[in-house]
Structure 1
Amino acid sequence: MASSPKLPAFDPADPLGVDDLLEPEDLAIRDTVRTWATDRVLPHIAEWYENGELPGIRDLARELGSIGALGMSLDGYGCAGASAVQYGLACLELEAADSGIRSLVSVQGSLAMYAIHRFGSEEQKQTWLPRMAAGEVIGCFGLTEPDHGSDPANMRTHAKREGGGDWVLNGRKMWITNGSVAGVAVVWAQTEDGIRGFVVPTDSPGFSAPEIKHKWSLRASVTSELVLDDVRLPADAVLPEVTGLRGPLSCLSHARYGIVWGAMGAARSSFEAAVEYAKSREQFGRPIGGFQLTQAKLADMAVELHKGILLAHHLGRRMDAGRLRPEQVSFGKLNNVREAIDICRTARTILGANGISLEYPVMRHATNLESVLTYEGTVEMHQLVLGKALTGLDAFR
């Protein structure tokens, strides 16, 4: 009788053996981004978060460009042409360091660069994408307005043709990541022909981007308002290949896909902190990790963490195959961000009072995820997207 094959050892860091699904190149990209984040972000992130700043953001952007992390899933124009799974792995590692760092990369690549790459003219692509891929130019994406977040169809920012075909933009955008450090902004505005996207150099007269202060979430991230007062642009500043909400919504779907992975990075960091703390913290004469209630918490956290990673991986494979639907992205963002917050909150209970200290990453991740929960689609919006898909009935209005 043949003997049974020897089973691999149980790996607490990869209990489901998800790494077996990854190719050597996937692992190499993941490890490159993890090493960069460990060396360049983790030693400083608590101080950056406490001070509410991201110093040296332009240097960080150039470094991220040098490892191919900016616009990494795009082809050509200096972009890495990585797979969706590889991009997702990078997002996970970046957000394991901090959500603000992943947001920098996500807005640069999945929103600003993606919009130009998919909908821009060849001249726009050649002008901006190589420099953005290298991190020499930072981009931002202007869609959300002070009075129109979940309802962008009613945005007030508008663009009108004047003179020999020039465009003149007026309006306000709010909660714009990278805004005050960007060299280029992709701004969406109402026109006579419908909603159009515009490539706006941020040194254009009438453009300003005052930074938003007093945030208690995403503190290590540059967040701004965009102010457009009679910003005059040439006729070829408009993105020529799209009209209507399909443009910005397709960009958001691409960015939300990165969040599906990224949220699991924040959850993993908090989970790992809880495990290590539970093994070393002693109460009643032994480590708290030896008590049943603590082990129950850790087991439940591990189950949701690795289910979320499996979900992200599945969606990544679908994206690589050209089969990922926006409703499936909503499924992933709704589940993974919600579960990541719960993991962080449970980790905080294991750390007790130490859980609120910046000596540990848990509270920082938890507060960051409160922003991730509602940006690029609130919980309610993703629930309604899925509700419509399940019933065929539109409950948005």
Structure 2
Amino acid sequence: MARTWSAVLARLGVPTGDGRIIDPAGGSSRDLPLPLAWQEKSEDGHGGSQVVARMETLRIADGMVTATGSMLESAPCEVIEQLEAGVIGPSVDLDDIEYVMDEQERLVITKWRIAGATLVAIPAFADVSLTLDPLPAEPMVSEEVGSHWAEWDLTASAVPAELPPADWFQRPDVDRLTPLTVTDTGRVFGHIAGWDTCHVGLPGCVTPPSSPTGYTYFHVAEQRTTDGAVLPVGTLVAGPRHADAQLAFRAAQEHYDDPSAAVARVVAGEDEHGIWVAGWLLPGASEEALDTFRSSPVSGDWRRVGGSLELIGVCSVNTPGFPVPRARVHFAAGAQRALIGSFGITPQQGEFFPEPGNRQVNEAEQARARWAWAAATTED
């Protein structure tokens, strides 16, 4: 199966590293598909390159030239390795050009046509990239799946033993940054990081990155739902510790590939509050993994893929880099006496939204249950 990709090939109206500027108003392209080449060894221009992929869509807008396409089956494996390591990037090949010199003696290309692009070690623009889409997950079938489900029915009755509904994987309907929440029906939802949250372990204020690919590098598994749909999903893992920061993204992904530590399958997305996940607890998750998951916060692992940071894993940790705080309240004589930030998993009784007629009573009871849980699972 051909590997697909998406790319930012060029920036318009801004100078390249050597001072050239491409005028946004003067662009066009040859008819698609166009070639994407790879320069194995650095030479003058794009000399010595070979075609490794085809460009199937091309867009000139918003100050950028963007494209999507697919790799050729004949592409050398070194191309994939170098793209995944983020050490090469695209450089556009132009023809039918006209240019002038501006007052700063910079070359301004006023008319140009895209004939293709080439992957090189040092692209003309520093902020361009080509990102490979992840390969689709291969379904895993186990002969022992029946016995695993039977064992789960005896040990973890709070988790559903059937397929989850598709709407559990949709964007949560919340009006604020919401800690990761688990209902007694097995539904999982909440935010793993907020846009306005600074990383606690880095200098300055480093906020979580947005995913330009829609979290495709996290959605490397599949989940079947009650309506027969198969969704691309990611896995929440109860440990191990984060992968070494020096690892490339593929090796880091393998670090989290431990079936015994998997506790939930979720879809990831973004809203105005931050990065959310939504899905369900896995019926085959071990009691040990579930205990770790329920009593620990979760933390994302972002790795550079091409020219951008992508979420590739989410695991339970003691102290997350982007904590999503929840209030822990001490009640005395019916009044709130203390408010302390803690970062555990919120257990939720019943459905997320109570029936309107019982809303006031249910919310009060659920609030006290949450504070009690937080007090029992969080150290002062």
Q: What TM bracket, shorter-length normalisation?
A: under 0.3
Q: TM-score, normalised by structure 1?
A: 0.24
Larger radius of gyration: 2
Higher helix share: 1
Higher strand share: 2
Q: TM-score, normalised by structure 2?
A: 0.25
